[in-house]
Structure 1
Amino acid sequence: MPGTLYLIPVPLGPTAPEHSLPANVLDTIRPLEYFVVEQAKTARAFLKAAGTNKALQELQLEELNEHTKSDALDRLLAPLRLGLDVGLLSEAGCPAVADPGANLVALAQKEGIRVVPLIGPSSLLLALMASGLNGQRFAFQGYLPTKEVDRSKALRDLESESRKRQQTQLFIETPYRNRAMFDAILQTCQPATRLTVATDLTLPSESVLTRTIAQWKKQTPPEIERRPTVFLMLA
């Protein structure tokens, strides 16, 4: 029988794993010897904090990120085919959501390998929960275009879709471009559209604020530069 692929959530910032991960999740992580991770260095730091049954140098970590070639995925499944369990980690939050680990999960599902998602922090769901926007209809759009013209068009299209379907639109940006995204939203969207800016979720500096575009224009911009942020919009 093949092993099990465990999808392991990671804290959303510099905080102890036990602050955001249930005890049974930590208990599942500790016996594992094989991991597929986005970055080995940060994964080792997380595993050291979570605690493992083996020394860190005895763990086998394989990287899967934007630089990984598609033909390498097959090799990453090798331990699972031999009956060994494997943990899949993202850099932060839930693996396989806006994350290259999705490709490994797809291949595991194709081969009939058991995939088990573990409970942990999801910035998208936490932001939606605290936003006050529509939690019945929502869509995650990932990263929007970086070019100004393309980004403005994408924002107008999302606002139109939100108004038509009464659907909350969620999207993210590379942290150092957060302020540019925020400014673009204020310049592009209609005054009555509601915008939530959710920053540093689960951390002591957490902030989740919902305002209309008109209200945002009248107040001091939020301090979001280089801080993980989720944007939510409902027209």
Structure 2
Amino acid sequence: MYVIGTPIGHLGELSARAIAALRAADLIACEDTRETSRLARHLGLTAQLVAVHEHNERSGAERLIAALRDGRRVALVSDAGTPAVSDPGARVVRAVQDAGFRVVPISGPSAAVVALSASGLLDAQFRFVGFLPVKSAARRKVLESLREQDCVLVFYEAPHRIVECV
């Protein structure tokens, strides 16, 4: 199974290797078929799109493993960025590995690394935290636990919550 990072802002961000893997896939597991269908149309993909998200990762993994057992070529993508990095997919990857199949990552856009590269921050060390909890008490608890970190902290946040978060 190929794990492929998808564009986070521009459809032209995909590498030639990622495009080739997507075009070779028989089945593409994605968070939201509506989002991935835009990419599929742009690239002229003919693979079947299957929704695999946080609410159906277990059954989705079983479906992908069955497809792999049938000799089908499977790709895992997220709506934007790298699957299994603050996105669904980690359980799928683990299940596919546990079933004895190889998981091949194909590098692609990662919002955390892209943001760091353009930040101008000189500290080479950073910690990727991912998404903070939505509820303020839980959010405060996480932030408090990070108070003593001596490195750049990178967080993800939903676009509609950025102002409130900052």
Whether contact under 8 Å (2:83, 2:89) holds in the other structure is yes
The answer to whether structure 1 residue 9 and structure 2 residue 5 are counterparts is yes
Give the structure-2-normalised TM-score.
0.88
Equivalent of 1:96, from 75, 84, 88? 84
Give the CA RMSD over aligned residues.
1.8
Equivalent of 2:138, from 150, 172, 175? 150
Equivalent of 2:32, from 39, 42, 64? 39
Report deviation, 1:36: 0.7
Report deviation, 1:120: 1.3
Report deviation, 1:40: 0.9
> What residue in structure 2 maps to residue 181 of structure 1?
165
CA distance, structure 2, for counterparts of residue 82 and residue 26 of structure 1: 23
Q: How does 1:17-166 map to 2 (within 5 A)?
A: 19-52=12-45, 54=46, 59-68=47-56, 70-131=58-119, 132-135=121-124, 137-160=125-148, 162=149, 166=150
The change in CA–CA distance for 1:71 and 1:33 in structure 2 (over 3 A counts) is closer
Whether contact under 8 Å (2:21, 2:75) holds in the other structure is no
Report deviation, 1:177: 0.9
User: Which runs of 5 or more residues in structure 2 are unaligned?
Assistant: none
Partner of 2:118, secondary structure, is helix
Q: Deviations over 1:124-147 (max 9, x none)?
A: 111222331533x32222221223
CA distance, structure 2, for counterparts of residue 101 and residue 9 of structure 1: 12
Report deviation, 1:104: 0.6
- Normalized per residue, the structure richer in strand is 1
Report deviation, 1:63: 0.9
Whether contact under 8 Å (1:35, 1:86) holds in the other structure is yes
Whether contact under 8 Å (2:129, 2:153) holds in the other structure is yes
> What residue in structure 2 maps to residue 232 of structure 1?
none
Output the amino acid matched with 2:2: Y
The change in CA–CA distance for 1:178 and 1:42 in structure 2 (over 3 A counts) is same
Report deviation, 1:78: 0.9
Whether contact under 8 Å (2:30, 2:49) holds in the other structure is yes
Size of the alignment, in residue pairs?
165
Report deviation, 1:41: 1.2
Partner of 2:139, secondary structure, is helix
Higher RCO (Cα < 8 Å, 6 or more apart): 2
CA distance, structure 2, for counterparts of residue 96 and residue 172 of structure 1: 14
Report deviation, 1:71: 4.1
> Which entry has the higher C-alpha Rg, 1 or 2?
1
Whether contact under 8 Å (1:21, 1:119) holds in the other structure is no
